[in-house]
A = this chain, B = another copy of it.
């Protein structure tokens, strides 16, 4: 039996591509550089992916897909909507905090991509939105959260703020002026976020 198309190779291409996309942006990224960083020949990339586009899409759908799976798993451990939201928040931040390059690609390249690879690239994001929406809706049904707002709007807003938080964190390193004036620790952001949930979402706040 001959060698199997290896999962390890596939992963190393995705990792390498994430780094290169983060460094140069998708359009400036060269297939050759991705291959070199992955210690393979250029042609090998095309045994695993149809095109450069396909690599980017795969990064989105697989990485965010993994996040979704781990989130679904993790929020099962509690029934408290607040705790669920905290888990979602903390897990997401923690994953991206430990993979800054992925954070960059997700916050910077994903927007561009929705323009062209829309449905494929976006479906895992929509799934993430669904997860959050569900939690909010549960909270509303339990009477914990105010019911006068659309759960989907809340979810969308939360994800937007979360994404923005990560984007600013990512930007810190890149824009000196940003860093000097507006460098905000992720922790600050998370706290503000939780405060927001508390202040803006809870029933008692009315």
Query: Which residues of A are at the interface with B, using a C-beta cutoff of 8 A?
Result: 2, 25, 27, 41, 107-109, 111-112, 114-116, 118-119, 122-123, 126, 129, 149-150, 152-153, 155-157, 160-161, 163-165, 167-168, 171, 174-178, 181-182, 184, 188-189, 192, 195-196, 199-200, 205
Contact = CB atoms under 8 A, between A and B. Distances in A.
Contacts of A157: 161, 164, 189, 192
A195 B177 CA distance: 31
8 contacts: A27-B27, A111-B112, A126-B178, A150-B188, A153-B188, A155-B182, A160-B167, A195-B200
Contacts of A107: 111
A168 B182 contact: no
A154 to B, nearest CB: 9
A122 B178 contact: yes
B205 A199 contact: yes
Contacts of A111: 107-108, 111-112, 167
A157 B160 CA distance: 11
